[in-house]
């Protein structure tokens, strides 16, 4: 189709500007209204936003990320009323939204016809969330409509948790990065498919299974639902990464949970006090620094798989699968 984006083609190079909130909020709202993409801070990771109700604008997200059109986008809404316009909202879903929004929870619900096919990748469901980041909220308020935003990384790579990370991923491919400082959570939102009273966790994240338990029966994935970051290999550094308790090969770096890392060429500690929240917030930055250190191998110490540890281990396994 003429003019149709092809994710295998490199986008035309553009000069990418990084700006702060004062200049960036009106500039981002204007770019969104003009059908352009813009990188935005959220409380989880940085997102690459575009007008969710404009299919051509959404196509630019896929083009900039090199993302296959089969991978659906999360829609970020300015106000709770938008949820009912985009999706069929069951009582369970409404209770989840009321309790966890704004915040790091994405709900997958039956879509309404207002949502473009490119957003849902043709699926009958749509993923919706409301971000708690004040800069993203201000942009949504100024723009006034939903914004589709996946993580602002090249497809399959480590999600960015700072404006500089976004430049490393998408510099030269997008016009603007809004610098809102480092992301508080550092891992992507929890994704939950709501079906009747059942909650299927499609991606572990800052909202834990334990916190969801009061809202329905918590279950794992559903056969036939294309799971988020569904590919086994995702969130991947270029340097091979293995998960291992103890081992010190030469020219290896350690992504450390509890050991001091003596003998390793480079050590990145996730949290000095073994705090899982701090570890999640540091995870991607630490992986990115190890990846840039010219190592032969990255060894990641496993973290306890409780609470946020489930989200961290899910990402380490994907980073290790290559
Ligand atoms: O924290 C986050 O969720 C970040 C920030 C920017 O909001 N966004 C993010 O988006 O992580 P993305 O596209 O990188 O990951 C969202 C995942 C994708 O892997 C996609 O497959 C899945 O959500 N997804 C989107 N719509 C879906 C749907 N209708 N059903 C199942 N999975 C869906
Ligand atoms: Mg992503």
Instruction: Please give the distance, rounded to the nearest whole angstrom, from the Cα atom of residue 228 to the centre of ligand 1.
Output: 6
Residue of 219 and 162 predicted with greater confidence: 162
Model confidence, pTM: 0.91
pLDDT tops 90 at residue 154? yes
Instruction: Please give the distance, rounded to the nearest whole angstrom, from the Cα atom of residue 156 to the centre of ligand 2.
Output: 7
pLDDT tops 60 at residue 121? yes
Percent of the chain exceeding pLDDT 90 equals 83
Residue nearest to atom 10 of ligand 1 (CA): 150
Residue 4 pLDDT class (50, 70, 90 cuts): very low
pLDDT tops 50 at residue 192? yes
3-state secondary structure of 284: helix
Residue 12 pLDDT class (50, 70, 90 cuts): confident
Q: Which atom of ligand 1 is nearest to the CA of 120?
A: 29
- What would the mean pLDDT of 288-312 be, rounded to a whole number? 95
| pLDDT for residue 103 | 98
Average pLDDT in the chain: 92
Neighbours of ion ligand 2 (CB under 5 A): 151
Closest ligand to Cα 122? 1
d(CA 157, CA 14): 21
pLDDT tops 60 at residue 199? yes
21-51 pLDDT per residue, tens: 999 999 999 999 999 999 999 999 999 999 9
Instruction: Please give the distance, rounded to the nearest whole angstrom, from the Cα atom of residue 146 to the centre of ligand 1.
Output: 15
């Amino acid at each position: 189709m003429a003019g149709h984006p092809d994710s295998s083609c490199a986008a035309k190079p553009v000069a990418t500007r990084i700006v702060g909130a004062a200049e960036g909020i009106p500039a981002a709202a204007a770019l969104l209204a003009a059908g352009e993409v813009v990188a935005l801070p959220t409380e989880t990771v940085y997102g690459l936003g575009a007008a969710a109700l404009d299919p051509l604008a959404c196509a630019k997200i896929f083009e900039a990320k090199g993302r296959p059109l089969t991978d659906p986008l999360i829609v970020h809404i300015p106000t709770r009323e938008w949820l009912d316009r985009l999706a069929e909202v069951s009582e369970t879903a409404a209770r989840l939204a009321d309790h966890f929004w704004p915040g790091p929870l994405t709900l997958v619900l039956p879509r309404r016809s207002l949502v473009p096919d490119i957003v849902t990748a043709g699926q009958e469901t749509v993923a919706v969330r409301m971000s708690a980041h004040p800069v993203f909220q201000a942009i949504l308020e100024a723009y006034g409509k939903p914004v589709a935003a996946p993580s602002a990384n090249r497809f399959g790579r480590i999600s960015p948790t700072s404006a500089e990370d976004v430049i490393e991923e998408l510099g030269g491919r997008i016009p603007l990065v809004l610098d809102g400082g480092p992301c508080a959570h550092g891992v992507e939102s929890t994704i939950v498919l709501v079906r009747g009273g059942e909650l299927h966790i499609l991606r572990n994240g800052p909202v834990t299974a334990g916190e969801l338990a009061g809202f329905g029966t918590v279950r794992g994935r559903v056969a036939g639902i294309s799971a988020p970051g569904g590919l086994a290999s995702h969130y991947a550094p270029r340097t091979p990464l293995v998960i291992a308790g103890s081992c010190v090969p030469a020219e290896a770096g350690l992504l450390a949970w509890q050991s001091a890392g003596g003998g390793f060429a480079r050590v990145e500690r996730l949290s000095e006090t073994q705090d899982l929240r701090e570890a999640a917030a540091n995870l991607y930055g630490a992986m990115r620094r190890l990846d840039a250190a010219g190592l032969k191998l990255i060894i990641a110490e496993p973290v306890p798989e409780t609470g946020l540890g489930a989200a961290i281990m899910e990402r380490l396994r994907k980073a290790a699968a290559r």
